[in-house]
Amino acid sequence: MMRLRSRDADFAARFAALVADTREPDSDVAQDVRAILARVSAEGFAAVADYTRQFDKVSLTPETACFTEAERLAAEAQVSAETHAALELAAERIRAFHALQVPADHDGTDAAGVRSGWRYTAMARAGLYVPGGRAAYPSSVLMNAIPAKVAGVDELVMVTPTPDGVVNPLVLLAARLAGVDRIFRIGGAQAVAALAYGTAPIPQCDVIVGPGNAWVAEAKRQLFGTVGIDMIAGPSEILVVADASARADWIAADLLSQAEHDPLAQAILITDSPTLADAVTAWVERLLPTLSTVATARSSWDRFGCIVTVDDLAEVPPLVDALAPEHLEIQTADPHVLFAAVRNAGSVFIGSHTPEAIGDYIGGPNHVLPTSRRARFASGLGVRDFLKRTTFLEAGPRGFAALAGSAAALADAEGLAAHALSVRIRG
């Protein structure tokens, strides 16, 4: 775990190195993914089935690739009443929050008599990738699927790998609560390719969302343009800003809540209290052995954890903006001052009673967020990711007369004769 102090002479260089290290996987998977995409494009479902047999030890046919209604119901029945109720509450809160994001159309006529505006239309079909195995999180199903349904997407198609035929029943229940229409038991880059190209019985989708491993992320990267994507997801991140008023044990638990996701995850604390910094370090060491995820969390904390000590909290906003964290927790005596000053963060959790874990599950805002410093220019998943904005223009004779002369003059200035002609021929 790294310790930095803003007063040290080498702080600027060491902090710049921290910002530059986005912890992307070292292995170059681009060539392997390119070969998988090419094969799925050429061979269709046969290639998808072959990769599923190799990687998941599951044999599929076009008839057995999709979960039947009976299979979905049987799996859902395994979920306890308590967990079922928690998922329903989460779905309700996520749906209510995202309903507020639906944008308004506009249609107006200006002084020249020209009608213009825009309208939003939902994509016809969205694909949702849900990881299998250890990273099969029902909360991610809700977060990815519900905004699509709120946007008005006609059909939502989910793919999820089932290694050795095993599926997480919570994932299937979450899919039901979120309104997923069809679920296919496939995963990996080949599943992303199937959604992008359409490989019967898997239909072609207009956009693909959802997290995955390096191969899934690379497949989305390579297929962007053929299909829309939400974002390229990197390892999880949390930045906690705290002062002496905060509790060290709470902060330590919050840092570990992200460290346990992935050995490449990063947990950072910035504080103006050296005493708090030392206490948090001690609490991390005390809590780590109690976790069932200790191996992953330990690797993340030892390799990428960091505590930054500053002399004054006024130094913090530019540091936060440079890190552009996926998750930002503010645990200070007056957190709203810092919240107002920060520009770059995927999602902000204000006050000591708002741990990031509340946002992961049940708060309402989406937990699919930009990582790897991309919060500088990107936002979390939302309703607009499933909408297209189409502008329109209707001049009419009066509006045309008011605009034609200037339009033709600009076309002449750009040397585009046919543009000018298409205006003047109407005069």
pLDDT tens for each residue of 140-151: 999 999 999 999
User: pLDDT: is 388 or 26 the higher one?
Assistant: 388
CB 33 within 8 A of CB 218: yes
User: How high is the pLDDT of residue 136?
Assistant: 74
Angle between helices 188-197 and 214-223 in degrees, nearest 10: 20
Active site residue 327: yes
* Active-site position among 98, 260, 261, 327: 327
User: Among residues 174, 176, 198, 194, which one has the least CA distance to residue 185?
Assistant: 194
3-state secondary structure of 307: strand
Q: Give the residue-averaged pLDDT of 97-101.
A: 98
- Look at residue 414 in the predicted model and tell me its pLDDT: 98
pLDDT for 133 beyond 90: no
Chain length of the chain: 427
**Active-site residue flag, 84:** no
Percentage of the chain with pLDDT > 70? 99
Assign 351 a pLDDT band (cuts: 50, 70, 90): very high
Antiparallel, parallel or unpaired: β 115-122 and 387-394: antiparallel
CA distance 277 to 284: 11
Exactly one of 326, 329, 356, 367 is catalytic; which is it? 326
**Residue closest to 107 by CA, chosen among 119, 122, 97:** 119
Beta strand segments in 214-286, E: 228-229, 237-242, 266-271
Percentage, residues of the chain above pLDDT 90: 94
Binning the chain into helix, strand and coil, the percentages to the nearest 5 are 50, 15, 35
Q: Give the tens place of pLDDT for each residue, 362-408.
A: 999 999 999 999 999 999 999 999 999 999 999 999 999 999 999 99
The whole-number pLDDT of residue 24 equals 73
The pairing of strands 106-109 and 115-122 is antiparallel
User: What gap in Å lies between CA 59 and CA 31, rounded to an integer?
Assistant: 26
19-48: average pLDDT: 90
Q: How far apart are CA 161 and CA 211, in angstroms?
A: 13
Round the average pLDDT of the chain to a whole number and report it: 96
Task: Band the pLDDT of 27: cuts 50, 70, 90.
Answer: low
User: Per-residue b/e over 16-47, b at no fewer than 16 CB within 10 Å?
Assistant: eebeeeebeeeeebeeebeebbebbeeebbeb
Identify each DSSP E strand in 25-138 by its residue range.
106-109, 115-122, 125-129
Rounded CA-CA distance 301/280 in Å is: 12
Indicate the pLDDT class of residue 134, thresholds 50, 70 and 90.
low
195 closest CA partner among 350, 9, 397, 40: 40
- Local structure of 350: helix, strand or coil: strand
Domains and CATH numbers, the chain: 30-108+123-229 (3.40.50.1980), 234-376 (3.40.50.1980), 395-424 (no CATH)
Q: Nearest to residue 263, comparing CAs of 55, 27, 24, 56?
A: 24
Per-residue pLDDT band for 106 (boundaries 50, 70, 90) equals very high
